[in-house]
Amino acid sequence: SLATYACDPGYSLFGSDNVVCDANGKWTGKLPICATNVAYRKPVNQSSTARGGAGENANDGDLSTVHDGTRCTQTFVETSPWWAVDLLQQYEVSVVKVTARGCCGHEPLQDLEVRVGDSVHYHQNRLCAWLPGVIEDGTTRELQCARPMLGRYVMVQMVGVSGSMSLCEVQVYSTQEVSKERCSPDIALENLATFNRTCYHFQMQEGGTQEIAKKKCAAKNSTLVQHIQAITQDFLASELRRHEDTMTTKLLWVGVEKDEGHISRTWRWTDGTKVLKPLWGKEQPNNYIRDQNCVMMDGAREWLWNDVVCSLNYLHWICQFGPPSCGSPDKSENTTVAVKIETHAAAATDVAAAADAGAADAPASSGEVAVYSCPKGNMVLGDRKRTCGQTGLWEGEAPTCKYIDCKEPGSVENGKFVLLDSRTTYDARVLYECQENYTLGGSKDTITCGDQGTWDPPSPQCLFSWCDMLEAPRHGGLEVTGRRAGDIATFLCDPGYTMIGTKTVSCQLGGGWSGEPPTCRFVDCGIPDDIQHGEMTLVNGTTYLGSVSAYECDADYWLDGPMTRSCLKDGRWTGDRPYCILINCEQPEIPHDGYVIGYSFDVGSEVEYHCEDGHFLTGENIRVCTRDAIWSGSSPNCTYVDCGRVPTMIKGFVTYETEGAATYLDSTLSFECVPNHRLVGESVKTCMRDGQWTGGVTRCEEIRCRNPEVPDLARISVARNNRRLSSS
């Protein structure tokens, strides 16, 4: 059989494109790899430049071998001339292809050395490949690293040769980058670039505002270029220099906007995250005309950033998106792969059938899963599933297949086995069956050939499955479900007896019970202690195992401890003996401006409430401690009353009789008049609960005499007036 390999568009195949199945059932040859060129248009350097042979000519994509002063590189004559490319980030380099200049008039390439690493001192990096001898003019040679070599810089050097070096094209291949062809079939390749597993679409044919640029990108399931780091900025700048001749303006929108507010200095990517390290050009940002809230890449500032107003309508832009496809998943020898779409219910739908050897036909989309399988009798070594990641690469490594044979299992006494799958290789199953009256010893009747080349679980045994009759213990009983393997026997003891031993036993394979029968022992706890001010009662009228004693206190007492106690296996009553305690209440509440008389808080005791002078009591003045250990009723209240002073008395005076001339509740006052006046109203008043003094208004009235009686035939003369002590 012949298996043929092919790579997805944009990838080159390195190694033989086919393998053959030999007579031993093995595929001959080494599996090839598919890789893409990661050096295209990246920054370059060389030991010197002569006759228009710029270093950029070696990675411009032009495979012409005729120099014409512009198509190939050329150095001056010097010792060990070199050329190097900066890949802008680390890649695993597998192959470097070098195209020599065609004839004639220039010395040939010879004794080439390729080094890969992270040092800018290129000759200090590790050796990838060495090609001694002369390379024929106009030909391309592949220099393959002994193993993939990680590094950012790749150098090609004529070692130990004094002369001029001319390279028409250098291609550096890695499996760690996506090709432009994988980005989108609807976009011209000259407008696409890939870096760090991200696709970039350079839109140089249109111009518009930043809002238009964002909408145009969104329409193609992409975003305006954002999250630009320093190495990505270098890559974009390198690509923009290549596009300069096609641009109407050297200004491009970047997916960055400033927060609202005149004093805001916070810039954010279009997805809302904060820009931590903005890549501003010289003297930027300046906001010199205000409202410069958007950002562009400025060709006049080496493609660094410049803040501008968002309404400029002539700028180009770059759309950024992840590869929609991971391509065909790689496979190891003898593996089969199918690409599936996994739903939330873990169901899967095939989207690409698998071939027994070679690449799958259809490329996979981001989020799809490649499921690997091996031929019958083989196990998968490695990840059975690989997911198409957002980077456009399959996660993990392709698994391999390992052939496993567990051989035929040994025979079983008193039974037999059946090969369910008619084989003894990996994942094969064997079913065991026993003769009559015998049962399999083990939890499973089927064993499987495992990944260690052994049967799992080990082969079972066929064991006799009947047990002898059991006898009930003295002073006890027995309940049995049967006498076959797995049946249960349960032992019981009479009331007052405790079981010593196992309560249940099971019939085991081989004909024996799992334990010995138990014995029953009588247990008596005796009469429990009585309690003072209460009574103990034997609920069952017995004192042996399981009996219960109950406790109850006399009236006015409560129980401190358990209400019941049980007789235990060890001949003791549970818990401690309870006590009967005289019921008492907590200290009663005392109202504000009041006090309580009473010193006993035991059940039936009384307390009497009183108020301070000037207050009256509202509520019950007597409370009793009840059997619920709470005081009857509720606490009364004391209310303060002040009648205040009466108005000043004309021709008299007021005397406040209570100590301190008080005017509160039950206080008294008295009235007196000056000479020649008499009192009209009550002479003494008392302050009442309604805040008023008793009686009506009391006043002083002047004393006057009436005219005296005049007897017949008499005449009277009044001197002075009719007031007391002043008339006659």
CA–CA separation, 619 vs 216, rounded Å? Answer: 86
- Kindly report the backbone phi and psi dihedral angles of residue 217, in degrees, each rounded to the nearest multiple of 5, phi listed first: -65, -45
Read off the pLDDT of each residue in 158-171 and give the average, rounded to a whole number: 96
Write the CB contacts of 142 (distance below 8 Å, at least 6 apart in sequence): 14, 95, 96, 97
pLDDT bucket at 720, cuts 50 / 70 / 90: low
Domain final position from 118, 148, 176: 176
Considering the domain boundaries, does residue 488 fall inside one? yes
Is 294 within 8 Å of 307 (Cβ atoms)? yes
CB 382 within 8 A of CB 398: yes
Cβ(201)–Cβ(318) below 8 Å: yes
Domain match, 52 and 145 both: yes
In this predicted structure, the answer to whether residue 347 has a pLDDT above a threshold of 70 is no
Question: Same structural domain for residues 160 and 113?
Answer: yes
Structure confidence at residue 352 as a pLDDT band (50, 70, 90): very low
- Amino acid making up residue 525: C
The count of structural domains within the chain is: 8
pTM to 2 decimals?
Answer: 0.57
Flag whether 355 is in a domain. Answer: yes
Whether 656 maps to a domain, the answer reads: yes
Strand-pairing partners, residue 441, are 461
Q: What is the mean pLDDT of residues 104-128?
A: 93
Please indicate, yes or no, if residue 576 is contained in any of the structural domains. yes
Identify the DSSP state of 135.
Answer: P
- How far is residue 704's CA from residue 725's CA, in Å, rounded to a whole number? 9
431-484, pLDDT tens digit by residue? 999 888 888 876 688 999 999 999 998 888 888 888 888 899 999 999 999 988
Query: Is residue 625 predicted with pLDDT exceeding 80?
Result: yes
**According to the model, what pLDDT value does residue 713 have?**
84
Q: How far is CA 110 from CA 113, 132, 524, in A?
A: 9, 7, 110
| pLDDT number for residue 367 | 67
User: CB-based contacts of 108: which residues, under 8 Å, 6+ apart?
Assistant: 100, 134, 135, 136, 137
270 and 363 co-located in one domain:
no
**pLDDT, position 166:** 95
Specify whether 274 is located in the same domain as 202: yes
Specify whether 679 is located in the same domain as 721: yes
* The residue type at 698: T
Q: How confident is the model at residue 344 (pLDDT cuts 50, 70, 90)?
A: very low
Distance CA 254, CA 227 (A): 10
Co-location of 288 and 385 in the same domain: no
Distance CA 235, CA 323 (A): 18
DSSP helix/strand/coil, 477: strand
Would the pLDDT of 81 be above 90? Answer: yes
Distances from the Cα of 642 to the Cαs of 519, 591, 610, 667, 692, in angstroms? 88, 19, 18, 9, 8
CATH number, position 506: 2.10.70.10
Pair 458, 575 in one domain: no
Residue carrying structure tokens 């195992």: 545
β partners of residue 153: 86, 117
pLDDT of residue 510: 80
Cα 652 from Cα 697, distance rounded (Å):
13
Rounded CA separation 625/627 (Å) = 7
Residue 169 exposed, middle or buried by CB count within 10 Å (0-12, 13-18, 19+)? buried
Domain contains 32: no
Distance in angstroms (rounded) separating the CA atoms of residues 341 and 387? 10
Q: Which of 60-74, 355-369, 551-565 has the lowest mean pLDDT?
A: 355-369
162 and 46 in a common domain: yes
| Listed residues 156, 176, 196: the one ending a domain | 176
Helix (H) / strand (E) containing 237: helix 230-243
The CA distance from 506 to 492, in Å, is: 15
Strands 315-321 vs 251-258: parallel, antiparallel or unpaired: parallel
**Would you say how long the chain is, in residues?**
728
Residue 294's alpha-carbon distances to 255, 286, 315, in angstroms, are: 8, 12, 12
Name the phi and psi angles at 401, rounded to 5: -115, 140
Q: Could you read off the pLDDT of 369-428 as tens digits, one per residue? A: 999 999 999 999 999 999 888 777 788 888 999 999 999 988 888 899 999 999 999 999
> For 676-693, what is each residue's pLDDT tens digit?
999 999 999 999 999 999
Q: Say yes or no: 497 and 538 in one domain.
A: no
- With a CB cutoff of 8 Å and minimum separation 6, the contacts of 263 are none
Q: The domain spanning residue 284 has which CATH number?
A: 3.10.100.10
Q: 321, 344, 366 — which closes off a domain?
A: 321
What is the identity of the amino acid at 152?
Answer: R
For 567, the domain range is 534-582
Are 441 and 460 in contact, with CB atoms under 8 Å apart? Answer: yes
Residue 446 lies in a domain: yes
Find tokens 């619920």 and name the residue: 628
Asked if the structure places residue 513 within a domain, the reply is yes
Q: Mean pLDDT in the chain?
A: 89
Do 49 and 97 lie in a common domain?
Answer: yes
The band of 70, judged by pLDDT with boundaries at 50, 70 and 90, is confident
23 domain residue, yes or no: no
Rounded Cα distance between 548 and 542, Å, is: 8
Instruction: Give the CA distances from residue 223 to residues 94, 192, 253, 265, in Å, rounded to whole numbers and listed in that order.
Output: 32, 15, 11, 23
Q: Are residues 202 and 145 in the same domain?
A: no
Bond before 647 cis per omega within 30 degrees: no
Q: Tell me the percentage of the chain whose pLDDT exceeds 70.
A: 94
- State whether residue 345 is helix, strand or coil: coil
- 355 and 282 in a common domain: no
The span from the CA of 206 to the CA of 209, in Å, is 10
